[in-house]
Chain A
Amino acid sequence: MKHFKTTWRNMRRSPYQAFAAILIMMLTFLTVSFFVFLIGGSSEVINYFESKPQVTAFFKNDAKQSDINTLENNLQSTGKIASIKFVSKDEALKIYREQNKNDPLLLDLVTADILPASLEISTTQIEDLAPISNTLKNSPIVQEVVYQQDVVSALTSWTSAIRKIGLALIVVLSLVSVFIMVTIIGIKISQKKEDIEIMRLIGASNWYIRWPFIFEGMFYGVIGALFGWAIASGVLWYSTPFLESFLRGIPVLPVSPLIFVELLGTELVLAALLGAFSSYLAVLRYLK
């Protein structure tokens, strides 16, 4: 309570320093939050695709139903198939209509003729997808094979890139925050040099002098993290409807409130540690 009072007084007396400290902490934790959402979201998407070991073969327009049936039977007989589902042109149209029911323009443009018939095949084991997709590719009646593994590997490489960029950004921003905090706390210590000297002569222990500065650093960290988290979470919350329609069918959103709370908790702890660490560095540097 006493430290809150002191910190509040210090903030009132040097508002720009306090503002800079809080802002840089905010920026750091805004970045942390955004990348946590991004990385968490994309691994969810990958999980979704990986949990569906599936190949889709689209047939040529002139493919005969009997040829398709033969192919289907051939695949069934390999014993690697978990399920196989034929989607006719009409069914494809129905699915398409369902997905785009809010957009009459798109509905008018498309007829059953444009949409190809397809065969959705899932295997019991992921490794079996490759030979099956090869079989399909070699079939004369197949126009195109969409192999989820390609999607997954593309997504995985994107995610790992995002992860690297995010990590690098967070490390750089954390370092910047530490340096800025050390400087700001250092300035505060220099301003109070005389007071500190007097307190020493009166018999104040090192920790009596250090603790208020460390508390101040933690306070800036916590406030910054709170704002950073609030902004990132607010943005995600606000754009959830849009993102949901973008990721149609992939069950990533909405993010459960529990995750927001957990993220906040973790960030507050990290921010307090980062603030305390920076102030401690400053105290070691400026309080001999």
Chain B
Amino acid sequence: MIKLDKVSKKFGTGVFGLSDISFDIEKGEFVFLVGPTGSGKTTIFRLLIRETLPSEGSIFVNGWDIVTLPKQKIPHLRKKVGVVFQDLKLLSDRTILENILLPLDVAGVSLNEAKVKAEEVLTQVGLISHKDKFPIQLSGGELQRVAIARALILSPDIILADEPTGNLDPATSWEIVKLLSDINEKGTTILMATHNLDIVKSLAKRIIELEKGHLVNDNKNNKEEKEKKSHPKKEEEKEIKEKETGEEKKEEKHETL
């Protein structure tokens, strides 16, 4: 689904944002991308939607060769990859519904059809009652869910979530992660960048760890072993539930990298 092969990204200043990164992600996987700020997580996301090009190496997303992808094909790629941006990138002068409708309009879906779909997705993320509000009237967690809804609306094969729990309290963070893993269970590949170790540790998922632009750890094989041992899905759900009920106590202990 996603394949990076010896990817390096050198910035204009001569600094390497990423160096020699290789990994590949199968269809339907849920992968955490962890690492401190500046480690290159966002750069990987930007590379994956061809917001920027790598200096070296090759990238494949959903069968597309990102490096050689012609410019006019970029919109096709971006319609197939839903992104939850770190800064959300919602349009402040449009209502929640209009924000969600935007990708459908871009894709040329008729308005009536689009409205049905948008309301369906808003119901899924639990925001249907807020559909006519403007982004400024919503809380951080709600906005995050709007961003997820927008990433979800075109039923993409891949969702990239860049720190979707970035500045949320643990309770809300868990809701967001729960939402993403529900989506993942329906077959969507998810790559989520985070530095919320609590979440990462509690969900037995594959973790790709970056540090200063280098890949320092990828527990692809570990995870497979774990999966053999137990029924991960049930375990996860139990864990999520535990987290949801016990967050208040955990809040103080909540650690970030």
Contacts and interface: CB of A to CB of B under 8 A. Distances in A.
Given A204-B75, A205-B72, A199 B102 contact: yes
A203 interface: yes
Interface stretch (B83-91, B121-129, B219-227): B83-91
A197 B91 CA distance: 10
A203 B77 contact: yes
Interface residues of A, number: 13
A67 interface: no
Interface residues of chain B: helix, strand, loop or mixed (majority)? helix
Contacts of A199: 102, 106
B78 interface: yes
A121 to B, nearest CB: 75
Interface string B158-185: 0000000000000000000000000000
Nearest to A195: B91
Interface string A192-218: 000101111111111010000000000
A201 B51 CA distance: 8
Contacts of A205: 72, 75, 106
Contacts of B138: none
Contacts of B102: 199, 202
Interface residues of B, number: 22
Nearest to A205: B75
Contacts of B75: 203-205, 208
A173 B90 CA distance: 41
Interface string B89-126: 11101000000001100110001000000000000000
- Most chain A CB neighbours (cut-off 10 Å) among B72, B103, B106, B107: B106
Nearest to A209: B106
Nearest to A1: B111
Nearest to B49: A201
A37 to B, nearest CB: 45
A142 to B, nearest CB: 82
Interface string B51-79: 10000000000000000000010111111
10 contacts: A2-B111, A198-B89, A199-B106, A202-B102, A202-B103, A202-B150, A203-B74, A203-B107, A206-B72, A208-B106
